Structure 1
Amino acid sequence: MKFAMMYSCGKDSSLALYRMINEGHTPVALISAFNQEQGRSWFHGIPEELLRSVSESLGIPLIICHCRPEDYNEAIEEGLRKAVQLGAESCVFGDIDIEGHREWNEQRCTHAGLTCVLPLWQEGRRALTEELIHAGFKAAIKIVQSDILDDSFLGQTLTADLVDRIEAAGADPCGENGEYHTFVYDGPLFPEPIPTKFGEIIDFKTHKAIDIQSM
């Protein structure tokens, strides 16, 4: 099956992509939502240059959906239609168990004429995080929810010990509720690590993020 991957550069979408490829399916596009006002991807805050570096490293074409909050859904559906033109039969998402996310994914796919696929659906959150680590992916914490995780977590690469610390702080081990987001810079899908550098920590009041750029 040819598929598009809704790709945030985070750990869950990376693991979903990895599973699909291992099962013999063919990715024809990565789809990333891009916040026009902030000049970075939605939710994970990845600059466009870095998104393109990831796409080039993976060898999968990138469809960037530039949008504002009010036209987010329409922009994603337009991106999905572009994926259809590249041969996609389905779109894959890395969501795990939040029902509202699944419903949103299915609606976008239906409008674009695609099947919605969720390879990680209803699996254990901690188990999925451990699977990613054991597979050899390197995921750096990019954003934290300030009232749960402090900024000492920012820039750290996920390990089993770090996941223990995340849980001890009261966060979900997978960050599925938004407690943290990651940027995957290396792993079995990459021929070599993505060259990056960390910058300043940005305080958004409810969240803190560490700037990350291509080198």
Structure 2
Amino acid sequence: MSEALLKHPRLISLEGGEGAGKTSAIVAIRELLQARGHEVVLTREPGGTPLAERIRELLLSPHEEALAPETELLLMFASRAQHVREVIRPALQRGAYVVSDRFTDSSYAYQADGRGLDRALIEELERKVVGLKPSLTLLLDLDVREGRARTSGRDLWPDRIESEQDDFFERVREGFRKRAVAEPERFRVIDASQSPTAVGASVSSAVLQWLESSA
């Protein structure tokens, strides 16, 4: 794969911490794009293909053996490489919009800011393994404690990431916010403390403005 990092005009990602409401926001984006006559492919990370979903299980299932941060990062990029090759690139090549629940920004926030891994390593993997970045990234920003309260009781057994402590998620949130400040032309920050209806409206408005500015 080429090492050039292409910002693709039909690739949209949603980012945010636990409980931020990305699932509902993605539905709002799909409805807006479909109403304008576009094919829309919804997908998620880690996952998106049968093999990538199996890697997701490895990443999220609690283990008796602790998962090293480097292992977590490389599994994320193994899943992402399969996802890009099998789902994202083919959809973009046929003219569809791709909306992904998480993309490489999550690796910077979770593995660099959250785990303390070398950002340069992630940058190299992004160039050599992924080769794509979204033209629009919607960051659903939410207070960590509120997000944890929303997800409390959602699953009988929290997954490996959900079981982390608040200080980890504070670092992740700050990582996302720093990326949004560094790339204001790509990021739109949405206040996810609003009601689901209000968040959906804010997301739709941001996407519509982006579409009109890109026309």
TM over 0.5: no
The structure with higher relative contact order (CA 8 Å, sep 6+) is 2
TM-score (normalised: structure 1):
0.35
More helix as a share of residues:
2
More strand by share: 1
